[in-house]
Amino acid sequence: MSQKHDVLLEVQNLKKYFHVSKGFGRSGKLKAVDDVSFQIFKGETFGLVGESGCGKTTIGRTIARLYKPTAGQILINGNDIAHLHQRQLQPYRRKMQVIFQDPYASLNPRMTVGDIIGEPLDIHKIAQGDARQKRIYELLDQVGLTKEHANRFPHEFSGGQRQRIGIARALALEPELIICDEPISALDVSIQAQVINLLEDLQREKGLTYLFIAHDLSMVQHISHRIGVMYLGHLVELADSRTLYDEPLHPYTQALLSAIPVPDPDETARRKRIILEGDVPTPIDPPAGCPFESRCPYVMPACREVRPVMTESKPGHFVACHLVNPVLVTLAQA
């Protein structure tokens, strides 16, 4: 990772709302991402974790501009792409690629692997003829496949190999940022480590930056330099990987971490599993105060009234919780 911590991507107050039907002719807004801000430094892996439906995949797709943001800024090397039109986005699409969760669904079954990997080269008019073929073979080699694989179709490959094809396609345009949207969730455990090792090797060789989206906290810890924890469309904690796992401050992060199995029996005996009770609120009608108040074991009256904001509690460790930042509770009760 860059020693100077140059910022590659900065997301500021990002919101993504979807219009949904509430029945009986009424409509509402599903607040999938609600006022999220963070930075990703050049050469780092930034993990984004949370339960299914917390908004982490929507953030990834909004940053990649597969979704149009409702509000906020998405700065790539300082340039805001949040509200650019499709044609204006073209140069930024080269810098930013996505690896999807389901490698089979994301590969066109009627195209050969060579054409799948070559498609971005065609769209961006990067290479033709022999140069195109040579580049496809290079990319196959970089992800541990061979040039013989170029003439085969996706159904002829295993899940792990198909994810390698997805990675080769993502690398074709030499991007700076790769958004990895649960890239190993659909793979067997034995294959997951191989794909992670490949991503780490490629990062070292090419200085790539990753936004790594996952619900599997143990894998995110392994690969990420820093981690953001999401709950109900909000970022609730952000810290470097070691700090987040050793000293989690937000009650939701503490509960998530307590559920990770550890190989050491003494450590297992020491750890207390936190079982969350209460219902997960709907993002169509989220709580006015803390998004976690309906399940938090430490909830206070102020939590139901005032939304906690992300505050730096120690250098580089941010958390949105009235327990950690009690001055907000005082204000709420005044």
* Residues of this chain that bind ligand SF4 (CB under 6 A): 250-251, 290, 292-293, 296, 298-300, 303, 308, 321-323
Distances (CA, A) of 271 to 128, 182, 227, 261, 268: 58, 27, 22, 10, 5
DSSP string, 236-302: EEEEEHHHHHHS--SHHHHHHHHTS--S-HHHHHH--PPPP-SPPPPTTS--SS-TTTTT-TT--HH
> Would you say 208 or 290 has its CB closer to ligand SF4?
290
> Would you say 235 or 290 has its CB closer to ligand SF4?
290
Question: Could you tell me whether strands 96-99 and 311-314 are parallel, antiparallel, or unpaired per DSSP bridges?
Answer: unpaired
Min dist. Cβ of residue 332 to ligand SF4 (A): 10
Question: Which three-class secondary structure state does DSSP give residue 141?
Answer: helix
> Would you say 11 or 232 has its CB closer to ligand SF4?
232
Min dist. Cβ of residue 146 to ligand SF4 (A): 51
Min dist. Cβ of residue 272 to ligand SF4 (A): 17
Min dist. Cβ of residue 250 to ligand SF4 (A): 6
Identify which of 320, 288, 319, 311 has the alpha carbon closest to the alpha carbon of residue 301. 288
Please check whether residue 308 is in contact with residue 322, taking contact to mean a CB–CB distance below 8 angstroms.
yes
Where in the chain does DSSP place strands (E)?
Answer: 7-23, 26-41, 45-49, 71-76, 79-80, 96-99, 177-181, 209-214, 226-231, 234-240, 311-314, 317-319
Min dist. Cβ of residue 218 to ligand SF4 (A): 23
> Would you say 12 or 294 has its CB closer to ligand SF4?
294
Please check whether residue 99 is in contact with residue 186, taking contact to mean a CB–CB distance below 8 angstroms.
no
Identify which of 224, 218, 234 has the alpha carbon closest to the alpha carbon of residue 283. 234
Please check whether residue 69 is in contact with residue 59, taking contact to mean a CB–CB distance below 8 angstroms.
no
> Would you say 183 or 291 has its CB closer to ligand SF4?
291
> Would you say 198 or 300 has its CB closer to ligand SF4?
300
Min dist. Cβ of residue 307 to ligand SF4 (A): 9
> Would you say 109 or 297 has its CB closer to ligand SF4?
297
**Distance between CA atoms of residues 163 and 186, nearest Å:** 10
Min dist. Cβ of residue 315 to ligand SF4 (A): 21
